[in-house]
Amino acid sequence: MTESTESEKHTIDLRQFPGVMENLPCCFYIAEGKEPYRLLYANEQTIRLLDCRDLEDLYRHTAGMAFHFIAMDDRARIKQDILHALAKTPEGFNHARGHLFTRTSRIRYADVSGRRVQTEAYGPVYYCTIQEIDIPRPGVVVDRDIRDRVIAHLDEAIEKHWIQVYYQPVIRTMTGELCGMEALARWIDPEIGFLSPGSFIPVLEQVRLIHRLDGFVFEEVCRMLRQRLDENLPITPVSFNLSRYDFDMMDVFAFIENTRRKYAVPRDFLHVEITESVLAQDSHVIQQALTHLRQEGYEIWLDDFGSVYSSLNILKDYTVDLIKLDMGFLRNFTEKSRSIISSVIAMAKDLGIKTLAEGVETQEHADFLASIGCGRQQGFFYGKPRPLAGTLAHIREERRGIEQRKWCHYYDVASMVIRQTDRTSALFDALESGHIRFLYTNRAYREQLQALGYRLQDVEENLSIKGKTEVYDFFWEGINRSRQSHKEEAFYYIDSGNYVNTRLRVVYAMNHHLLVHVEFQNISRSIEGLQQGKLDAHLRYLYSIFEHVCIVDFQQDTIDPLYVQGGMMGNDGKPGVTHDIRKALQEVAQEFVYEEDRARYLAFCDTETVVERIRKSPYGRISCRFRVRDRQGKYEWRECIAILLSSGTHPLMLTATWVVEAPTLLPEGTAATSKDFAALLWQSFQRNTRFRYFWKDKERRFLGATKSFLKYYGFQSVDEIVGKTDEDMNWHVDNNAYRLDELDVLHKGKTIENVVGECIIQGELHHITCYKWPLYQNGEIIGLMGVFVDVDAMYRDLHQKLPSPFEDTITGLHNRQGFLSDLTRYQEAYTMDKQDYALILLESRFDKHIQDSYDSSFLRVLVREEADILRRHTGKGAAISRIQNATFAILRRETSHKESEELARELQYRLQAIHEVAGNPVTITYGYSIVHSDEPAIHHLSDTSISHIYRLALERLRHKD
């Protein structure tokens, strides 16, 4: 509003408005009857209600717009309601209710009514009255005095801990253990008493102070977790709530991350809860903050899922880790709500999202959620919100354990596997030592098991005690095959005359435990097995004649052996489903089929033509003979017959292979000429020798190398080295020594023998010994040939595969001893040839809780992943060592200090970007230090030994703490 407009409003003549008195005994104002609905007049009561000093102050506060009386959250809705009412009744509107926008941000809730009046000066206007009322909340009436007290005493309530953090337990459905807690604010006022969240949270949101409450709760959670970690007490992840106004009032990511760092709490123990209504705002600021939080390792939980109309759009637009089903689904627990909950849980699993149901109040609720595979549960059935001590005491009273950190991902994966199905379905927890227990069974599984005459405990016992039943061997062999293939495997067995088909898949392996999903079918009683007698006779006939009997399913792309007796399947007579038919046939051809027969074998098995060839055969079958290598290495003739079991749109083929009594044939051929034979020998030599030969031209450029040489350096083709020198490849610590040796060979005809050196392969420094000699043509040197031996590998071979004294057994990098040897070489090269280098030390500020939470196998995986990151990003010209635990050293030649600094920062960033290992969440923090070979700080000291250089790097590393 302009100054002239304000002046005009201040001197308005009320006589222009018929029937208006200046001293009306209520809040009254006048607004124009068209957009933008300018404020024309407001009386003293209205000015006071909105906490303004005078009419001019009111104009500034509302920008002269009548609808600006209404708070921003309600403004669009109120305007829409009023315009909708006027469209029906142009004479006026009644009882539009919402929050007022007061100058001091005090909460006021009012009822607004208005009538249309025609004036000569302004045309149609609206006479409006405002009546302040209480905020209508279901079951709760917030007194105006309470609202004012909440606003005025928030800081005091935080400082004096009138506001306390309560914790409500979250229970793992599959185990019944405590797997998390939700942090909730409670206000216990010394004058008023206990204030419900509905009494103070909406108030603080309205006046934009909610960020101070949420910040206080989050810091209290971090303080609690740090205290329990310091006292070596068990902890569990805690979720905390964020309001949409938090994102307007502060940098949410910076606040959360800075507070977490202050208390050194792992990110995976802090889960961010955000309601659907917040995400429905479609705010770029909110989306950016949540994305940043998730990228840094925080889980984002979507609260009250299903409470607003835009639930599916939110899942489309945002990436969340878990959804909390709104408690309203369970409050009205009907068949329809059950169906909705089941569908939501299934959809979440399809999207890879974990699930938690709120509002669990009865055993019926809990059992239903368990049956559909809801991962976690929360509600009064498991415990109401209490102070921490009360919640933990309740958990103890209920005889519930606290889930260890290392099992969180294991059971998350297990919950994802459970799906509603009419087929049998069971989930086993199998120890690698041979013991199993059920985690889940559906009704179909239990019923079919009972029909076979077994109880669940019978199955656990039979599959845990070796030799008790023959099924034990089939079951564990199937597990071993599935671990290797990473696919579902199957086996058949006979139980009291019943043919039983069992399919299993190892879903996940961790901490020496295997998560195994199992389905089984009693073929004898199934629809497919009604002709039991006929089936039995046919199977016995096939088994008596053939070595291998298989079903090939082209649609599923699987080979399912019905019977295997030794031979080329390599499964010790125990069949397993093979996936990817073409790949499997290629592997069999390469591994077992005689070389001259391979092309014929693959043509016979060609999946593109085999069905049509069978259909065109007058006998309804096709066959082929080829030679197969047995376990003794002898090739014998086999015949394979293929017929169609089903020839519709989903053809199934049965193949049967048997021994053909025919003599083993030797390959035929003609005698090769001497020239051809020499070429054949050279070609064979390049391909098959284990020694790493290479040859160069007179300019020391590579002309070629053996396959073993290329493999050693990680090259796919000789083209990657042809035309390049050692300096181009930059794979020696001291290129100059090798260059001088080769010049002696090329210009003096010397033969170089047993020259020791070091080369760098994928970040690892290897000790080698090298031999080189000249190549002559017509008496002139035209190049050189050489070979080298990896001394470290030779050492291991000579000492029965023991690790090199320089090698770290976990990562394959150099160990401390190897590092000191490398440092000696680099320092010598600097001293003698002024080849500058840098030493970078990287050390994990190791989250001790990682060591306490996970076993040694997990820690080894973590260290290997860290080593792999260093290999990928350090470059070929550097030597990497693992000094101890998670302390790494990098030695690299450098051309400037800046490039080493940039590399150290990049490596620190990439290592700290590890937020999970094998699905398990971790929080990693790394520090680094650098020593440059040309630093005056080194050369001004009398002690310039490698031990001093290393100690200097350590001191700088510790100083950064």
383-410: pLDDT as tens digits: 999 999 999 999 999 999 999 988 999 9
Q: Is the pLDDT of residue 937 over 80?
A: no
Q: Is the pLDDT of residue 732 over 90?
A: no
Q: Is the pLDDT of residue 581 over 60?
A: yes
Instruction: Please tell me the predicted confidence (pLDDT) of residue 934.
Output: 87
Closest CA to 412 of 752, 785, 916, 960: 916
Closest CA to 769 of 742, 797, 794: 794
14-133: CATH topology: Beta-Lactamase (3.30.450)
144 pLDDT tier (thresholds 50, 70, 90): low
Higher pLDDT pick, 939 / 697? 697
746 pLDDT tier (thresholds 50, 70, 90): very high
**Mean pLDDT for the stretch of residues 124-151:** 72
Gap between the Cα atoms of 529 and 521, Å rounded: 10
Q: Is the pLDDT of residue 950 over 70?
A: yes
Residues 48, 52, 55, 61, CA torsion sign: negative
Closest CA to 256 of 301, 209, 288, 222: 222
Instruction: Please tell me the predicted confidence (pLDDT) of residue 842.
Output: 93
**Mean pLDDT for the stretch of residues 50-60:** 85
3 pLDDT tier (thresholds 50, 70, 90): very low
Kindly report the backbone phi and psi dihedral angles of residue 147, in degrees, each rounded to the nearest multiple of 5, phi listed first: -60, -45
Tell me the DSSP string of 245-267: THHHHS-HHHHHHHHHHHHT--G
User: For 148-157, 443-452, 500-509, 840-849, which range has the lowest pLDDT when averaged over its residues?
Assistant: 840-849
**Mean pLDDT for the stretch of residues 13-27:** 72
For residue 348, the number of C-alpha atoms closer than 13 Å in the C-beta half-sphere is 31
5 pLDDT tier (thresholds 50, 70, 90): very low
Gap between the Cα atoms of 60 and 1, Å rounded: 8
662 pLDDT tier (thresholds 50, 70, 90): low
Summarize pLDDT for 680-691 with one digit per residue, the tens. Answer: 778 778 888 888
763 pLDDT tier (thresholds 50, 70, 90): confident
Q: Which tokens sit at 277?
A: 């209504």
Contact 480, 437 (CB under 8 A): no
Higher pLDDT pick, 852 / 702? 702
Higher pLDDT pick, 751 / 309? 751
Instruction: Please tell me the predicted confidence (pLDDT) of residue 160.
Output: 94
Instruction: Give me the residue spans of the domains in the chain.
Output: 14-133, 144-414, 421-522, 532-659, 678-798, 816-959
Q: Is the pLDDT of residue 240 over 90?
A: yes
Instruction: Please tell me the predicted confidence (pLDDT) of residue 539.
Output: 56
**Mean pLDDT for the stretch of residues 65-77:** 85
Q: Is the pLDDT of residue 167 over 70?
A: yes
Q: Is the pLDDT of residue 698 over 90?
A: yes
Angle CA 329–331–334, to nearest 5: 70
Q: Which tokens sit at 109?
A: 């809730």
Instruction: Please tell me the predicted confidence (pLDDT) of residue 477.
Output: 87
Gap between the Cα atoms of 216 and 234, Å rounded: 23
CATH no., domain 532-659: 3.30.450.20
Residues 794, 798, 803, 807, CA torsion sign: negative
Q: Is the pLDDT of residue 319 over 80?
A: yes
User: For 137-141, 187-191, 254-258, 787-791, which range has the lowest pLDDT when averaged over its residues?
Assistant: 137-141
Gap between the Cα atoms of 466 and 462, Å rounded: 8
Instruction: Please tell me the predicted confidence (pLDDT) of residue 694.
Output: 94
User: For 576-590, 696-710, 805-819, 837-851, which range has the lowest pLDDT when averaged over its residues?
Assistant: 837-851
In sequence order, the 6+-apart residues with CB closer than 8 A to the CB of 899 are none
Q: Which tokens sit at 445?
A: 């599984």
Gap between the Cα atoms of 432 and 246, Å rounded: 48
Q: Which tokens sit at 104?
A: 């001091």
For 557-572, give one letter per residue: b (16+ CB within 10 A) or e: ebbbbbbbeebbbebe
Instruction: Please tell me the predicted confidence (pLDDT) of residue 9.
Output: 44
**Mean pLDDT for the stretch of residues 858-878:** 89
98: enclosing H helix or E strand: strand 92-99
Gap between the Cα atoms of 170 and 179, Å rounded: 6
From residue 657, give the alpha-carbon distance in Å to each of 341, 550, 569, 631, 653: 51, 9, 11, 17, 13
Residue 83: Cβ within 10 Å count: 11
Gap between the Cα atoms of 205 and 220, Å rounded: 20
Contact 313, 340 (CB under 8 A): no
Contact 519, 449 (CB under 8 A): no
Gap between the Cα atoms of 393 and 463, Å rounded: 38
Q: Which tokens sit at 337?
A: 């709500």
Q: Is the pLDDT of residue 71 over 60?
A: yes
Contact 955, 302 (CB under 8 A): no
Instruction: Please tell me the predicted confidence (pLDDT) of residue 661.
Output: 65
Q: Is the pLDDT of residue 348 over 90?
A: yes
Contact 495, 502 (CB under 8 A): no
For residue 875, the number of C-alpha atoms closer than 13 Å in the C-beta half-sphere is 15
Gap between the Cα atoms of 939 and 847, Å rounded: 37
Contact 657, 643 (CB under 8 A): no
For domain 678-798, the question of CATH label 3.40.50.620 is answered with no
Give the rounded distance of the alpha carbon of 722 from its chain centre: 42
Q: Are 144-414 and 678-798 equal in CATH topology?
A: no
Q: Is the pLDDT of residue 7 over 80?
A: no
Q: Is the pLDDT of residue 330 over 50?
A: yes
Q: Which tokens sit at 714?
A: 């990680």
CATH no., domain 816-959: 3.30.70.270
Q: Is the pLDDT of residue 437 over 90?
A: yes
Contact 368, 339 (CB under 8 A): no
Closest CA to 271 of 143, 170, 162, 386: 170
Q: Is the pLDDT of residue 204 over 70?
A: yes
Instruction: Please tell me the predicted confidence (pLDDT) of residue 141.
Output: 44
For residue 509, the number of C-alpha atoms closer than 13 Å in the C-beta half-sphere is 12
Ranges of H-type helices in 332-470: 335-350, 363-371, 388-397, 408-417, 443-451, 456-462
According to DSSP, the β-strands at 376-377 and 354-357 are parallel
**Mean pLDDT for the stretch of residues 362-381:** 94
- Judged on CB neighbours under 10 Å (0-12, 13-18, 19+), 225 is buried
Amino acid at 134: D
Instruction: Please tell me the predicted confidence (pLDDT) of residue 335.
Output: 85
Kindly report the backbone phi and psi dihedral angles of residue 200, in degrees, each rounded to the nearest multiple of 5, phi listed first: -125, -25
Instruction: Please tell me the predicted confidence (pLDDT) of residue 744.
Output: 92
Instruction: Please tell me the predicted confidence (pLDDT) of residue 890.
Output: 94
Gap between the Cα atoms of 890 and 879, Å rounded: 6
For 830-858, give one letter per residue: b (16+ CB within 10 A) or e: eeeeebbbbbbbbbbebbebbeebbeeeb
Gap between the Cα atoms of 210 and 248, Å rounded: 11
Contact 238, 167 (CB under 8 A): yes
Contact 888, 879 (CB under 8 A): no
The count of residues in the chain is 961
Closest CA to 1 of 64, 79, 66: 64
From residue 216, give the alpha-carbon distance in Å to each of 239, 302, 526: 14, 21, 62
Instruction: Please tell me the predicted confidence (pLDDT) of residue 459.
Output: 93
Instruction: Please tell me the predicted confidence (pLDDT) of residue 667.
Output: 40
Instruction: Please tell me the predicted confidence (pLDDT) of residue 882.
Output: 93
Ranges of H-type helices in 117-251: 144-152, 154-159, 197-206, 210-230, 246-249
920 pLDDT tier (thresholds 50, 70, 90): confident
Ranges of H-type helices in 443-527: 443-451, 456-462, 471-485
723 pLDDT tier (thresholds 50, 70, 90): very high
Q: Which tokens sit at 475?
A: 């079951």
**Mean pLDDT for the stretch of residues 208-212:** 91
Gap between the Cα atoms of 409 and 584, Å rounded: 33
The CATH class of 144-414 is: alpha beta
Instruction: Please tell me the predicted confidence (pLDDT) of residue 154.
Output: 93
Summarize pLDDT for 286-315 with one digit per residue, the tens. Answer: 889 999 999 999 999 998 887 655 567 778
Upstream peptide bond of 124 is cis (omega within 30 degrees of 0): no
Beta strands in 779-909, from DSSP E residues, in sequence order? 780-790, 837-844, 878-884, 887-893
**Mean pLDDT for the stretch of residues 751-757:** 88
Instruction: Please tell me the predicted confidence (pLDDT) of residue 315.
Output: 81
Q: Is the pLDDT of residue 2 over 70?
A: no
544 pLDDT tier (thresholds 50, 70, 90): low
CATH no., domain 421-522: 3.30.450.20
User: What's the whole-number average pLDDT of the chain?
Assistant: 84
Instruction: Please tell me the predicted confidence (pLDDT) of residue 538.
Output: 53
Instruction: Please tell me the predicted confidence (pLDDT) of residue 567.
Output: 47
Ranges of H-type helices in 696-770: 707-713, 726-729, 735-748
Instruction: Please tell me the predicted confidence (pLDDT) of residue 21.
Output: 64
**Mean pLDDT for the stretch of residues 765-792:** 88
Q: Which tokens sit at 518?
A: 């199992």
Gap between the Cα atoms of 667 and 778, Å rounded: 40
Gap between the Cα atoms of 743 and 20, Å rounded: 110
Instruction: Please tell me the predicted confidence (pLDDT) of residue 846.
Output: 59
